[in-house]
C-alpha cells in the first residue's frame, strides 16, 4: 500500500495575521529566525513521509485541498497540514499516518483539543476532490462519521493546535519553542 502524502496548504491570505498587526504573509514571518512555513516543512521532511506543497493561491481551503489531492491522486491517503503549524513534530505526522492503516479518517488531539494534520484514507479521495470554497474538509469528516467511527488520536504534541493566525500566536509559538529547547 502507498504511504499517505502530507499535503502542506500554503495558499491562504493570512488576513487575521495582518489585522492583528503583522506585516506581510504570516508564512514568511520569522519564528526563532526561520520562516514559519520553512519550520513546518522541516518537520514534514524529517517525518520521511512523501509530501506536496499546495501554494497556488486558491480561493478557499476547500479549493486548496481538492487541488492538492488531485496533484497526488495515486496516494495511499492524505494528511492535511496547514502551513502555519510550525511546531508540529515529525513523530506526530508518522503517528497519524500509521493510524490511517485501520481508519478512514484520523483526527489528532492535544489535551482534548482537535488539531492537525487530519488524516484521510484513499477511500475519501472522491469526497476530498469535491471540496471548494472557504470550508475545509469538515464536511468529509461529518459524512464519514455517519458511516463508521472516525479515529480520535490523542497526542502529546502542542504543535497540532499551535497555528499562527495572529502576531500574538507567533509570540506564543516563540515562547513554546524556547521552552522546548531548554528542556
Residue with cell 493561491: 57
Q: Which of 36-45, 79-88, 140-149 has the lowest mean pLDDT?
A: 140-149
* Amino acid 132: pLDDT: 93
Q: Is 79 helix (H, G, I), strand (E, B) or coil?
A: strand
DSSP 122: G
Closest by CA to 91, choosing from 54, 53, 117, is: 117
C-alpha cell belonging to residue 8:
502542506
What gap in Å lies between CA 2 and CA 5, rounded to an integer? 9
Cis peptide bond upstream of 117, omega within 30: yes
* Amino acid 6: pLDDT: 98
Please give the average per-residue pLDDT across 96-103, as a whole number.
94
C-alpha cell belonging to residue 129:
476532490
Please give the average per-residue pLDDT across 25-35, as a whole number.
93
* Amino acid 110: pLDDT: 97
Percentage above 70 pLDDT, the chain: 98
Please give the average per-residue pLDDT across 7-23, as a whole number.
86
CA dihedral of residues 36, 95, 65, 10 (deg, nearest 10): 10
* Amino acid 67: pLDDT: 95
pLDDT, the chain, mean: 92
Give 1's pLDDT tier (boundaries 50, 70, 90): low
Q: Which domains does the chain have, with CATH numbers?
A: 5-182 (3.90.550.10)
Give 141's contacts (C-beta < 8 A, 6+ positions apart): 105, 107, 118, 150
Give 106's pLDDT tier (boundaries 50, 70, 90): very high
Rg (the chain; Cα; Å): 16
Amino acid at each position: 500500500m502507498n504511504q499517505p502524502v502530507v499535503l502542506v496548504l500554503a495558499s491562504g491570505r493570512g488576513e487575521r495575521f495582518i489585522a492583528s498587526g503583522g506585516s506581510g504573509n504570516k508564512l514568511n514571518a520569522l519564528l526563532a529566525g526561520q520562516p514559519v512555513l520553512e519550520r513546518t516543512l522541516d518537520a514534514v521532511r524529517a517525518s520521511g513521509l512523501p509530501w506536496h506543497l499546495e501554494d497556488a493561491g486558491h480561493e478557499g481551503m476547500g479549493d486548496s485541498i481538492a487541488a492538492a489531492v488531485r496533484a497526488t491522486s495515486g496516494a495511499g491517503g492524505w494528511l492535511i497540514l496547514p502551513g502555519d503549524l510550525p511546531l508540529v513534530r515529525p513523530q506526530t505526522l508518522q503517528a497519524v499516518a500509521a493510524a490511517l492503516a485501520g481508519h478512514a479518517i484520523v483526527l489528532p488531539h492535544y489535551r482534548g483539543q482537535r488539531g492537525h494534520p487530519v488524516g484521510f484514507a484513499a477511500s475519501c479521495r472522491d469526497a476530498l476532490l469535491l471540496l471548494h470554497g472557504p470550508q475545509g474538509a469538515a464536511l468529509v469528516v461529518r459524512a464519514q462519521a455517519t458511516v463508521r467511527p472516525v479515529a480520535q488520536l490523542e497526542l502529546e504534541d502542542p504543535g497540532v493546535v499551535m497555528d499562527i493566525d495572529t502576531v500574538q500566536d507567533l509570540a506564543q509559538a516563540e515562547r513554546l519553542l524556547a521552552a522546548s529547547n531548554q528542556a
